[in-house]
Chain A
Amino acid sequence: MSIDKEQLYMQYHDKILGYIIHRTGNVDLAEDLTSDVFVKAYQALDRYDEKKAAVSTWIYTITRNTLTDYFRRPSKMEEIPDDLASNDDIESELINEGLLSDLADALDELPERQRDIIVLRYYHDHPLTEIASMMNISYGILKLEHRKALAALRKRIS
């Protein structure tokens, strides 16, 4: 499948920019890094294989790698975020837009408390101790509900 460069730019520029702004908090930096993403994407276009990943997953991977490279520059004083520090490659089968839908459906079926825990922990990166405080429940109960939520999601998504 050949990807049109212009279409790629039109479809993903704002998503990439918005994501990098979210991760760095710096608009000017985000614009520079977004340009870097497209340079890399255009260079890699002829190697893109739609059987391995959807376009969105592919360009998301390039975006994350660009961010990782940025945080690893010697001049950077701040620590690289944990999820970018991991050397694990993103497995394309772990993330795609269909799975986001599946996750939404699975979360919808959870009791509200478990759903809240999952969103607060994995979208907002709050530690479980902090979530227990936010929800005004004991840490023990929070851990139990967290385990139940993961077990339920494992059945639906994996």
Chain B
Amino acid sequence: MSAEQATSVSKGVFAFKGKCKRVNEDDYVCDSKDRGRKARMTLYREIWEDLHTQIEILRSDLNCQIFDDLIAFVSGCHRHRDSPGDRSAQLLGEIPAAVLVTGVNTPDHDVMFANLESMLKSQVSPLVARVGAQDNCRISALLSDIVAQLMNVTLTSEEREDDEHDAGDLLPGEKSTAVSSSPIKLKVAPVRKRALNLTTLVKWYKKKFGAGSPCKSRSAPCSPRKRLKLEETGEANAEQLKATTNGSGVDKKPLVIIVFEDVENVNPAVFQDFISLCCSYLPSLPIVLILGIATAVTAIHQILPSAITSLLCMERFQAPPASRYLSHLMDKIVMVPDVAVKLGPKVFHFLLDTFLYHDFSILNFITAFQFCMSEHFLSNPLSVLCCGGEEVDYVTSQLSQAQLEDLRKLASFKSFVESCPPNVQSKLWSDNAVTRKYLSSALTELHQHHANLFPALRFLHCLSSALPKHPLGKQFRELYSLCLTTDVCESDSYKQAVTFLRLMSLDDLSKALAAACQALEEPSQSNEHLRPLFEEVERFVYRLGHLDEEEEQEEEKDMQQDANGVPLERILPQRTKLHELKEKLQSMSSKRRKSPYEKLREEILESLQSHLRRLITCPLTLPLHEALYFNDLAAVKEQLKAAPRCSTQRALTLPGRYLNCACCHGNEHSILPSMPDICIVYKLHLECGTLVNLYDWLQAFVTIITAAGDKGGKSKKKPQKPSTELRARFIRAVSELQFLGFIKSTRRKTDHVTRLTW
């Protein structure tokens, strides 16, 4: 659009800044065909808001422990600084450094460090600087970055009242950059970027928090929580504060905390310089370093020589492994009855595989889950029924005529109708009231099933997780995925697990049963379907604990049975073959008198199995499950699992599908002259070996192109020389192919190129 508008004598490329177009969501959502989309979108938003807060809470919970430790360490640093007696600590000149081993799930680190930063700011000291990996390749840049961060932060926190309306609506992350670029900031601190070095920082720090100006240090930024913390840290701290000469109510000087997010990727030379500099400024600045490491502490030694590490006083903190994080998340989000949207087996497996096999990233997992949700609401009209168990009646009663009509057109509704009793079937097609009623009852049933299913699965998991070879999986998610794909009670692994359970010793069984019983206790309070199971298990646990009482009763019965037992000799015929004898003996041994424990065990397992069979069935067999379950793997894969090479190759082999034109339709191997040049060239080069002769290639290309021209006339004369146009087209196609990375030039043979793909 730009070239014609610009009037200029000289030739050139002109950049026109386009307007930033915001996508109007109504254009997307309000499709003429699908009227319910808007309603579903609001539904999606509500559910996602809910989930999002849950996820946030989960996140802060999980890192809570390690952050608490870290903060305790950091606030404990430099405690003896001001006390005059401890000369050694001062002279030793070690920078306290917390090494935070974060694990390799790199995409998540950003969130983690953002949390850490805000926690440090609120609880320890307002002076926190965060350094990413890539931005600093020179020591001066690194220093000015850190100093700018430190000085700006306190500026905003001190003059928050003034700045509130200026920078109030900016995000906290943007604040520092926004403030530093605004003219207001320049007026306050006339320090140019060039002059931002540690000396400036020292001066500034002295001025702000120095002992010489008590009035200023009293107004030093200090959140009430920090003051609380200071009080908590005990008498030692308080005494020390009093001991300082002018310490009447003067707060402790805030620490200077510098967080390196990814030490492995920091330029080692710069990092070494930085540490030795920090060390030389340690007497005037209470610096604490926090070093984030993805792999292991040994990485530090790969980066730093011993002269530098001897300046550090490190303490290690290990973040919990990502897989634990995942199971935590899945327990709360994916595998609970409360969250209405569920993942179907295929999508569930896909997300899980992506996490475990590829990236270990919780962030990606959550995003993928969110995508699945939005896709579910966007593409499935039935998802209008997706809601919590309590709202089912309301939602179904709110369905409009049009929505019901839409629903009736769906395939899943048809199968739903077929599952209903025959006398209502016809009504379902016409009578709205009946339809609503039946929809509501079906959905309630689905929710009820979920409420039963999950506790029952957990119960089974408790029992089976300790079995040898883990037939039902170590993790709950394995059992759940089995449940989604098949009927658990019919599966082989379930049978195997039961066999193992039959062989369990008294101690193990009673322990496992007690644990399982505990898992069942809470949900069974409100759910009458679970209660019989719970009560029965409780009884069994009791009986296992008091086995000897049972023994006495049993013995009496046994005495009677023994009386009419048959002596051994009678069973055995006089002459038998060996294998017959073997069989006989085996059958006898199985008939052998069982101990009371074995009997009880048998009874327990029979009872449990009947209960589990009742409670655990695959939810995907229930009618209308499509409302809750999202199982469209193709859609997710297309969006989330990028396979650039595959799609490029497919585009080149089957251009018709992409261009949507009739003339290019052919199968994978056919080469049509109507195809784009690059496709022809690509298909031709597939027939060659490692090295492709350019001239032969050109000839083949020309043959195909010209074959189209003289289809009618059978002029078999050899083309003398390809025309300039054809050559140009060929060269262009070849260079396009090179650009895509399929070939490259080689020096091994003249007029040849190398193939790069197979």
Is chain B a partner of chain A in the same complex?
Answer: no
Query: A-contacting residues of B (Cβ < 8 Å)?
Result: none
